[in-house]
């Protein structure tokens, strides 16, 4: 099969969407498919046997890490030369809308996938009043597709509630060979601790340092647990603000880590804290769990698909008083309070992650592709 992806984000950016896309591309190529990826400029010209076409882009004013790439004739020419069996648009915004238009004008089967809960992000950038309008725009875009894939059951339900049709679940995946408990290293733990002395508990966050991740919610946890230390792995537009929020606390801003260093960071921490309540899935949670790091996360969005409270992690209620501070503190104390129970959580977290490999997730995706390519247009409309 020949698949053309249109994505608003790709390498060299580091985030959960890019991880899912790169692992998916690898597995598709291994399965014998031909893959072409259209993305904002800056990516390598090829990846894992797939051709990458970079499109000139401009930074998004509110979020410079994200780039808006405007489709142009060269994109159309490259697509026609490739002659795909199917077009897959990922989080259609600008370049993705061009992919939708090109697929529709060429009568190509079209799949869309929803990875970023943009309507919920708006309130964190002072634009919450635009949420109904954004849902209407998303509905207009996604309903052009014959299939709309979501990465959690909660997002399937939410898209359906907003009138987006033909939705289905695209199962999660994680690299359990890279992320495993045996990656724990004293030197990595010391790096995460930074200039702070050893501690009773090393708390870890991995991900973008951005407003919608609600990382400042961890500050009350440090106030309540004075012997705990926090390491923030990643970077983003909210870093300077977070440096002010965590001033005077035992917090290390580590920056980006990747590969075995990142796997070692997960495995070397005592707990992984992920306060965000806007997640469609939360891939970093699966990575932490694969590395045997017990997690504390919000009982919202796609997270309950991954974390079962008291079994493989702890959930907190993010909408309680003071943005759920008391609930987050209580969940963290519960996780850290008993060594034997924490070890059991580690084992159960690893067992949950082992259920979800990228090969299985991509096999499911290829099955979806086959269904869409095989459906006649009149049958798709009735699906």
**pLDDT tens digits along 21-30:** 999 999 999 9
Compute the mean pLDDT over every residue in the chain, rounded to the nearest whole number.
Answer: 91
Q: What is the pLDDT of residue 381?
A: 40
SS3 of 210-258: the string is CHHHCHHHHHHHHHHCCCEEEEEEECCCCHHHHHHHCCCCCEEEEECCC
Higher-scoring residue by pLDDT: 278, 197: 278
Residue 375: pLDDT band with limits 50, 70, 90: low
Residue 123's pLDDT is 63
Average pLDDT over residues 221-227: 94
Q: What is the mean pLDDT of residues 269-280?
A: 91
Residue range 211-217: average pLDDT? 93
What pLDDT score was predicted for residue 200? 75
The pLDDT assigned to 179 comes to: 97
pLDDT band for position 380 (50/70/90)? very low
Among 181, 175, 176, smallest CA distance to 269 is for 181
| pLDDT greater at residue 311 or residue 58 | 311
pLDDT confidence of residue 378: 40
Count of Cβ atoms closer than 10 Å to residue 12 Cβ: 8
pTM (2 decimals)? 0.87
pLDDT in the model for residue 367: 95
pLDDT value at 237 more than 60: yes
Region 352-356: mean pLDDT is 94
Q: For 241-259, write each residue's pLDDT tens digit.
A: 999 999 999 999 999 999 9
pLDDT band at 63 (very low <50, low <70, confident <90, very high): low
Greatest alpha-carbon span in the chain:
66
Given a cut of 80, whether residue 81 has pLDDT beyond it is: yes
H/E element holding 377?
Answer: helix 377-382
3-state secondary structure at position 304: helix
CA–CA separation, 363 vs 171, rounded Å? Answer: 10
At 65 the pLDDT is: 63
- Per-residue pLDDT, 376: 38
**Helices 95-105 and 73-82, interaxial angle, to 10°?**
50
Per-residue pLDDT at 182: 97
Residue 125 pLDDT exceeds 90: no
Across the range 21-47, mean pLDDT stands at 96
**Percentage of the chain exceeding pLDDT 70:** 92
Mean pLDDT of 167-186: 96
pLDDT tens digit string along 282-328? Answer: 899 999 999 999 999 999 988 999 999 999 999 999 987 787 999 99
Q: Is residue 359 scored above 70 in pLDDT?
A: yes
What is the predicted pLDDT for the residue at 206?
A: 97
121-143 mean pLDDT: 78
Domains of the chain in sequence order: 2-173+357-382 (3.40.50.2000), 181-353 (3.40.50.2000)
β-pairing verdict for 228-233 and 57-60: unpaired
Q: Output Rg (C-alpha) for the chain, integer angstroms.
A: 21
What was the pLDDT predicted at 38? 98
Band of the pLDDT at 72, cuts 50, 70, 90?
confident
């Amino acid at each position: 099969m020949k698949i053309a992806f249109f994505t608003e984000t790709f390498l060299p950016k580091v985030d959960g969407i890019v991880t899912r896309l790169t692992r998916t591309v690898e597995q598709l190529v291994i399965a014998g498919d031909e893959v072409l990826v259209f993305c904002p400029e800056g990516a390598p010209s090829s990846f894992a046997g797939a051709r990458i076409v970079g499109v000139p882009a401009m930074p998004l004013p509110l979020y410079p890490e994200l780039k808006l790439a405007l489709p142009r004739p060269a994109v159309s020419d490259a697509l026609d030369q490739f002659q795909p069996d199917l077009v897959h648009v990922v989080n259609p915004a600008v370049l993705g809308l061009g992919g939708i238009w090109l697929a529709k004008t060429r009568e190509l089967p079209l799949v869309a996938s929803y990875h970023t809960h943009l309507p919920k992000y708006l309130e964190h950038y002072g634009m919450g009043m635009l949420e109904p309008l954004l849902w209407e725009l998303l509905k207009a875009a996604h309903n052009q597709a014959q299939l709309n894939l979501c990465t959690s059951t909660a997002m399937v339900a939410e898209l359906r509630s907003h009138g987006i049709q033909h939705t289905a679940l695209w199962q999660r995946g994680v690299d359990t060979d890279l992320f495993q408990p045996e990656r724990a290293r004293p030197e990595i733990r010391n790096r995460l601790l930074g200039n702070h002395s050893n501690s009773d508990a090393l708390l870890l966050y991995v991900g973008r340092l951005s407003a919608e991740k609600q990382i400042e919610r961890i500050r009350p946890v440090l106030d309540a647990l004075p012997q705990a230390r926090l390491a923030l792995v990643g970077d983003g537009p909210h870093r300077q603000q977070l440096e002010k929020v965590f001033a005077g606390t035992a917090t290390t801003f580590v920056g980006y880590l990747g590969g075995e260093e990142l796997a070692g960071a997960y495995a070397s921490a005592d707990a992984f804290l992920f306060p965000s309540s806007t997640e469609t899935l939360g891939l970093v949670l699966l990575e932490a769990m694969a590395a045997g790091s017990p997690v504390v996360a919000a009982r919202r969005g796609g997270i309950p698909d991954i974390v079962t409270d008291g079994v493989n992690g702890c959930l907190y209620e993010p909408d309680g008083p003071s943005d759920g501070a008391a609930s987050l503190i209580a969940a963290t104390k519960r996780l850290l309070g008993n060594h034997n129970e924490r070890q059991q959580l580690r084992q159960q977290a690893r067992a949950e992650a082992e259920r979800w490999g990228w090969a299985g997730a991509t096999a499911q995706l290829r099955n979806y592709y086959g269904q869409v390519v095989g459906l006649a247009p009149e049958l798709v409309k009735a699906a």
